[in-house]
Every structure is written in C-alpha cells, then in structure tokens.
Amino acid sequence: MAVEDDVSSIRTTTLVAPTRPTITVPQRPPAIETAAYFFGGGDGLSLSPGPLSFVSSLFVDNFPADVLTPDNQRTTSFSQLLAGAMSVSPGGGGRSTAGMFAGGGPMFTIPSGFSPSSLLTSPMFFPPQAPAQTGFVHSQPQPQLQPPGPPRPDTFPHHMPPSTSTAVHGRQSFEVSTQGDQRARNHYNNPGNNNNNNRSYNVVNVDKPADDGYNWRKYGQKPIKGCEYPRSYYKCTHVNCPVKKKVERSSDGQITQIIYKGQHDHERPQNRRGGGGRDSTEVGDIHFVGGAGQMMEFSDDSGYGKDHEDDNNDDDDDDDDLPASKIRYSRIVHVIIYYT
DNA sequence: AGCCTTTGACCAGCG
DNA sequence: TCGCTGGTCAAAGGC
C-alpha cells in the first residue's frame, strides 16, 4: 500500500495548541492522512492490533506502578486502562480531540501529574536510532485531527481555554500516579532495566521547542500564509547531525507545531549552552491512539495547574518542576509518532 | 571569537 | 510558463 510506504520511514510527533484563532486547515501531510486512515477516519479500516500491543508493552513494561481508572479503581493492566478509557471515550459529548482524531479508535487519557516527557524521553517513544530509520516528527493543528466528513457536533471547541479543555479530558481520564511516573523514569534511567538500550532519548519541549535537550541553530524563517507568526527552521548544531526541526506558532504566538525531521546520531549534549539543561513541560492529558503499530498520539493539556503534583522535584533531570503559572499556560499537545 | 538570530534571496516542487 | 509555497542559504548584525 502506497500510504504505508509513505509512512514506513516516518516518525511523527504532533504538538498542537488547543486554541488557534484562525483555523486554517493546511494540507495534511502523508503521515496525517495515514493517521486518519489507520484510526478509522479514512475508509473505515479497523485498527491494527500492532499499536495497541506497542502501547500496551510500553505501559506494562515501563509503568508498573498502580494506576487509577476513572472510578479510582486501581489497575495494573494496560488492557484495563485501555478498556477503561475506551468505555468513556467514544461518542458522547465528552469526546476529546484525540478521540475525534481517532475516530473512535482506542484511546486513553492521562491527566495531570503524568509527564509525557517521560514517554518522550523514553527510548520507546523516540526509539534508539535504527540505522535505516529516518525520524520525521510532525505536528499539526487540531482541526486536522478530525477525520474527513461533516463536522461533528461534539467537535472540540477551539476557543476553549486550556483549563476548559482539561475538564473535558479529565472526565475521560484515569490517573497515572506520579510515583509511577517516577518509577518509569527510573526505569528508563537505569540501563539495566531497559531492554531496548540505554541511549539517550529525545524530549519534545512544548513551551521551548528549541530547548529539547539538543542544541539548535535557527537557519531560516518563513511567513505562513494566514498566520501572524512565521515558521522557524532549526538545525541541530551537533557536527554532522542531520536533524532539523521546524516550529510553527499560532497567531497569538503560541507554539502549535513542532516538526522534527531526522534522527540524532549523537547523544544529547551533556553541557547545554546557557546552563539551562532540560526543562520540558509538565504534562496534562496524554492520549494514546492506536495506529499502525508505529504511531502514537498524545495530547498534552497542561492548563490545569491545580492538578499538578510535583513530587518529583528531587531529580535534576525532572521535567515536572515548572511553576504552576507556566504549567497553566502551556499548551495542549498532540503527538503522533511513527515507528518503523 | 564564536555562536546565534534575522532576513532577504534563491531554488525546487507543484498546480 | 507562471505564480505560489516550502525549504534552504548566506550575509549581516547582535550577544
């Protein structure tokens, strides 16, 4: 299938801001088309079990901590998590944007207290560089996430502030304890626990797209039609590193898209310029959507600082120690990742 | 001095 | 062929 060929070498990450005053729906890149296709938004193709297995393994293997289902029933099974999420996700007015994107496909939501950075930083989320793998991280505005067809009555209100959208997500959410998150991090930080390998991992920083652990040099900027803010182009400054990324902003200057292209062929710099180190964004909701076994999506809605419980601030490498004010104003993030 | 951003120009792809 | 758009280059200037 041609579309599969198109995405076979693509890893896509979508970072989407919830509010985009001017909703201009650009052309979908092949990956997104494929996403809609795999997620049932295309021609009704059912989901491949692959991604579920993938995500399942992610959580079973790396999130051993107890998690809470929406009714606060503890469960340790990803399947249970998924079942719990699916029981509340499809249909109804409480449908989330990820749900819309998924077109009813599998999805679960993780509210605040869980950092997607943990996932993003995991070798599974950004798997170690396979020699033949070319990562391509793409993001697109939420309207693109909707499958083709007439507008849904339950379309996510783009004018809603993050806090409101959080409520929408929250009702559909189960919780993953930060303790579990920490354990997951320890899991990843401990090479002995990682069957994949112990290479460094990538971080998608929502608020500071240029600060994801690597050093970037801006090499271009182009105005986007219909957008007040231009698209910026960055290159990894590491010698011979082919990775590039482009950052798009909404008309209010908020980052709406971060698109990575290529894969780093080097470790993340130990000593960052400016001494900032990592400072990824606290994460709110994360939506995992099953796909072709190579793609996942999560949504980061950090607009609810009240739910933020930073019990991980004992770690310099922690992503969660942002001030609540910053968390509150950070963006919803959708991430779609392709694995090959 | 080195690295970065800015910015206009250039080039390629596409309709 | 032309115009549009996306992506990149490179000079200039700033930190």
Nucleotides of C under 7 A from a protein CB: 4-10
Question: pTM of this prediction?
Answer: 0.42
Distance A215 CA to C9 C1' (A): 20
Query: Is any atom of strand B within 7 angstroms of residue A114's beta carbon?
Result: no
> Separation of CA A217 and C1' C15 in angstroms?
15
Nucleotides of B under 7 A from a protein CB: 3-9
The 10s digit of each residue's pLDDT in A63-77 is 333 333 333 444 333
Calpha distance A10→A199 (Å, rounded): 20
Percent over 70 (pLDDT), chain A: 16
The more confidently predicted of residues A233 and A228 is A233
Instruction: Give the Cα separation of A14 and A56 in Å (integer).
Output: 20
Residues 64-93 of A with CB under 7 A from strand B: none
Query: What gap in Å lies between CA A208 and CA A272, rounded to an integer?
Result: 14
Mean pLDDT, chain A, as a whole number? 44
The integer distance in angstroms from the CA atom of A210 to the C1' atom of C15 is: 18
Give the span between the Cα atoms of A270 and A330, in whole angstroms. 26
Query: Protein A304 CA to nucleic acid C12 C1', in Å?
Result: 44
Q: Beta carbon of A221 within 7 Å of strand B? A: yes
Is the separation of the CB atoms in A144 and A86 below 8 Å?
no
Host H or E run for residue A326: helix A324-329
Q: Is the CB of A222 under 7 A from strand B?
A: yes
Question: For the segment A254-296, what is each residue's pLDDT rounded down to a tens digit?
Answer: 777 788 887 777 777 765 544 333 333 333 333 333 333 333 3
**Nearest residue: Cα versus C1' of B3:** A217
Looking at the predicted structure, is the pLDDT value of residue A223 above 80? Answer: yes
Could you read off the pLDDT of A231-246 as tens digits, one per residue?
Answer: 888 888 887 788 888 8
Distance A3 CA to B8 C1' (A): 37
CA of A46 to C1' of B3 (A): 50
Residue A20 in this model has a pLDDT that exceeds 60: no
Hey, is A39 helix, strand or coil? coil
Which residues have CB under 7 A from strand C?
A 26, 219-222, 224-225, 231, 233, 244, 246
- Measure, in angstroms, how far nucleotide C15 C1' is from residue A68 CA: 49
Residue A258 and residue A16 in contact, taking contact as beta carbons nearer than 8 Å: no
Element (H, E) at A182: helix A178-189
Q: CA A87, CA A69: separation in Å to the nearest integer?
A: 11
Residue A217 banded pLDDT, cuts 50, 70, 90: confident
pLDDT for the residue numbered A270: 66
- A247 CA, B11 C1': Å apart: 22
